[in-house]
Structure 1
Amino acid sequence: MKQTQFSSDFTLGILGGGQLGKMMLYTTRKWDIATYVMDKDDTAPAFQGCDVFFEGDIMQYEAVMEFGEQVDVLTIEIENVNVQALQDLEDKGIAVSPSAKVLNLIRNKARQKSFYQKQQIATAAFEVYPKPNLGHERSYPFIWKSAEGGYDGKGVKVIRQASDLTDLPQAECIYEDMIDFDLELAVIVARNYDGEMKTYPVVEMEFHPEANQVEYVICPARINMDISDRARELALKVSESFEHVGLLAVEMFLTKTGELLVNEVAPRPHNSGHYSIEGAITDQFEQHVRCVCNLPLGATESTVASVMVNLVGEEGHNGKVIYDGIEDILALPGVTPHIYGKKETRPFRKMGHVTVVASDVVEARELAEKVKGRIRVVAEV
């Protein structure tokens, strides 16, 4: 008889206890899949929902090895993990998704961009430097990106003049052309061990101009069918090139001339798929569990127009969190807040998101603007 993951001794391990891990647990609790989580902080959002919580550093080799040897399938909710430990666990027969090879490629932006170049995947022109280079020949302005460790707008900066390079980390980086784009788009691709693949609808992302964080994710993107088809085909090409297992969020630029350029990818559930909890037949977190457990993939179609609103800490606020105005937005039709469980807020820290659903995308986007104006993530006075 085939081993089953449901109500059995099977164990799924998640490295990282943040909000993405917490939202994966919505599915594992629903299906009674035993789930272990490791994070160095026992106040992590996923602490309450898992079967067993391990307090440990996911960047520490011995901790990851000890944790991984206790599970049947191991996945991540953040890229900053000890990749050598993942490789050694794979060599011991543990199913690791994404694989150490894929993660090693993706988590370093210099390697990731060079991979696109080798695979003939369109991306912005770039150069790699061992550290910020004042003697470059690139015209201003351009984009500096840290090769490792950047996330949520960190590790990215617009360089308008030579002095902008002086205070940057002295570590490997890339210089990238600024793209004259119309829209920033994203497509999530799901792939299981059997090679079954599905794409979610193309979404449109609107970013905060200062923090470089997503403020709104709009589904469906306000583009024509030709662009939508090309974006999904490009995302599939990227996924096939990596041969990943799990979710792959493919972010891309739509240029003024109609070209699609891959910006970067994330091998896990992603901000661009949060809308799917209320807006799709199969939400991205359930889909990721299906992928890594090699289960049949769920339908990816949207059931309703939706917009995700990011909830981040207000500037000037540090301390115990208050969601000022949450009662107001709960009174609005089609509005569902998701609070991540982080007790302390700080400027631009991701604290939650709100899904807004409506009969069409115009109505959903207008309602999302109201939500954004009525809720503030602040600290107790």
Structure 2
Amino acid sequence: MNYFSSEFKLGILGGGQLGKMMLYNTRKFDIQTYVLDPSDEAPSKMACNAFSKGDLMDFDTVYNFGKQVDVLTFEIENVNVDALEKLESEGVKVYPSSKNLRTIQNKAKQKLFYLDRNLPTSEFSRFAYASEIEDAILNGGIKFPFVWKSAQFGYDGTGVKVVRSMDDLKGLPKGECIAEELIDFKNELAVIVARNPDGEIKTYPVVEMEFHPEANQVEYVICPARIPEDIAKKAQEVALKVSKAFNHVGLLAVEMFQTQDDEILINEVAPRPHNSGHQTIEASYTSQFEQHIRAILNLPLGKTDSKVGGIMVNLVGAENYTGDVVYKNIAKIMKMEGVTPHIYGKKQTRPFRKMGHVTIVNKDLNVARQIAEKVKNTIKVISK
């Protein structure tokens, strides 16, 4: 099929920053793109050929949107899977598949998927209602501390809480959830695996992630991870096993823990471009966003090696600021060597909302990390 400067139409469910960064590449290749998002101010609106406003969880909205396009992908997991399944049955190519998304959407199903296939992950218990957790504690079924996760609709640190006492159970959402063993880890790692329909597979280098202690969001992504070569190889092998089990098309970001005993345990996956790959825009031969487009269109996959060491700093809304966004001191960080800011186009800021990211590249990763710290301490996402 001729994708370039043709009548071919690629649909993207979700018009957030991930969609916007995918569109950098569809514009580069002159591929027609249609975007569906619930917000009139979606960051992707400015860069697509056709924009539709609508509810991503509504069957008819997603189904009717999908009928307009030849290939359909998504930049967010919270979409109507039944509509995707019907579209597939009628010949629309949906990547990643509705089957994989149905498993990944639900963290309990996702954990059972790993368990059933002997893939290494932390111990967990599944509950239909959060109220059942207290009984499990009293009966000795689970012990403090543990990690509570909502089975569905969690994102960017929401739907996750470390539970250390009965008091921490207060106010939790009532629905289906899991209680995971709290892992004593050395590092949180991630590997992005790309796969196209022909079965060509490539992995990106292992990255190391540093999280904000309160918001449970990634603050820094460091590539390559500062770990021994044998641990990096083990992490990539685990990611490839997960990829093979899902037999996905597109990108699969596999988040993992490196334990104190150097075991690699799967935390969770995302079937799309991911926060752990943002540095690939400046630091890699092929960005994760271009690679996702290549993969879902069954084009040859690009080179995944890093050209230079890269660190990504998340730009999130500062605490105590809500309203029209201001990027304080952005000119100062642009004076720093190897620094590139990416502003997502969200007009309104609020505490911990993802508003952009900054990539720092340098041949010396230690220097890059020092500059990243300066960037983090200099730029502030505030409101007028």
Give TM-score scaled by structure 1 length: 0.99
- Could you tell me which residue of structure 1 aligns to residue 70 of structure 2? 72
* Aligned length in residues: 378
In the TM superposition, residue 60 of structure 1 has moved relative to its aligned partner by 0.7
In the TM superposition, residue 379 of structure 1 has moved relative to its aligned partner by 0.7
- Aligned ranges for residues 258-337 of structure 1 at < 5 Å? 258-337=262-341
> 1:244 is matched with which residue: 238, 248, 260?
248
Instruction: Read off the aligned partner of 2:249 and give its amino acid letter.
Output: V
- Could you tell me which residue of structure 2 aligns to residue 340 of structure 1? 344
Instruction: Read off the aligned partner of 2:112 and give its amino acid letter.
Output: S
Instruction: Report the Cα distance in structure 1 between the residues aligned to 2:364 and 2:88, rounded to whole angstroms.
Output: 45
Cα-to-partner distance string for 1:174-211 (whole Å, 9 max, x where unaligned): 00000010000000000011111100000000000010
- Could you tell me which residue of structure 2 aligns to residue 154 of structure 1? 158
- Aligned ranges for residues 97-136 of structure 1 at < 5 Å? 97-132=95-130, 133-136=133-136
Please give the secondary structure, in 2, of the residue aligned with 1:194. Answer: coil
In the TM superposition, residue 146 of structure 1 has moved relative to its aligned partner by 0.3
In the TM superposition, residue 57 of structure 1 has moved relative to its aligned partner by 1.1
- Could you tell me which residue of structure 2 aligns to residue 185 of structure 1? 189
CA RMSD of aligned residues (A): 0.5
In the TM superposition, residue 100 of structure 1 has moved relative to its aligned partner by 0.5
> 1:81 is matched with which residue: 79, 82, 85?
79
Instruction: Report the Cα distance in structure 1 between the residues aligned to 2:55 and 2:34, rounded to whole angstroms.
Output: 14
Please give the secondary structure, in 1, of the residue aligned with 2:48. Answer: coil
Please give the secondary structure, in 2, of the residue aligned with 1:21. Answer: helix
Instruction: Report the Cα distance in structure 1 between the residues aligned to 2:168 and 2:305, rounded to whole angstroms.
Output: 44
1:53 paired with 2:57, answer: no
Instruction: Read off the aligned partner of 1:213 and give its amino acid letter.
Output: Q
Instruction: Report the Cα distance in structure 1 between the residues aligned to 2:144 and 2:188, rounded to whole angstroms.
Output: 22
Instruction: Read off the aligned partner of 1:236 and give its amino acid letter.
Output: L
Instruction: Read off the aligned partner of 2:190 and give its amino acid letter.
Output: A
1:43 paired with 2:41, answer: yes
Query: Which shifted more, 132-141 or 368-377?
Result: 132-141
Instruction: Report the Cα distance in structure 1 between the residues aligned to 2:351 and 2:38, rounded to whole angstroms.
Output: 22
- Could you tell me which residue of structure 1 aligns to residue 173 of structure 2? 169
Instruction: Read off the aligned partner of 1:63 and give its amino acid letter.
Output: T
Please give the secondary structure, in 1, of the residue aligned with 2:180. Answer: strand
Instruction: Report the Cα distance in structure 2 between the residues aligned to 1:310 and 1:27, rounded to whole angstroms.
Output: 21
- Could you tell me which residue of structure 2 aligns to residue 230 of structure 1? 234
Please give the secondary structure, in 2, of the residue aligned with 1:30. Answer: helix
Instruction: Read off the aligned partner of 1:40 and give its amino acid letter.
Output: P
- Could you tell me which residue of structure 2 aligns to residue 213 of structure 1? 217
Query: Which shifted more, 365-374 or 136-145?
Result: 136-145
> 1:144 is matched with which residue: 121, 131, 148?
148
In the TM superposition, residue 166 of structure 1 has moved relative to its aligned partner by 2.3
In the TM superposition, residue 377 of structure 1 has moved relative to its aligned partner by 0.3
Instruction: Report the Cα distance in structure 2 between the residues aligned to 1:144 and 1:204, rounded to whole angstroms.
Output: 23
Give TM-score scaled by structure 2 length: 0.98
- Could you tell me which residue of structure 1 aligns to residue 356 of structure 2? 352
Please give the secondary structure, in 1, of the residue aligned with 2:376. Answer: helix
Please give the secondary structure, in 2, of the residue aligned with 1:135. Answer: helix
Please give the secondary structure, in 1, of the residue aligned with 2:232. Answer: helix
Cα-to-partner distance string for 1:319-371 (whole Å, 9 max, x where unaligned): 00000010000111100000000000000000000000011211111110000
Q: Which runs of 5+ in 2 are unaligned?
A: none
Instruction: Read off the aligned partner of 1:182 and give its amino acid letter.
Output: K
In the TM superposition, residue 5 of structure 1 has moved relative to its aligned partner by 0.3
Instruction: Read off the aligned partner of 2:173 and give its amino acid letter.
Output: P
Question: Percent same amino acid at aligned positions?
Answer: 61
Q: Which runs of 5+ in 1 are unaligned?
A: none
In the TM superposition, residue 167 of structure 1 has moved relative to its aligned partner by 1.0
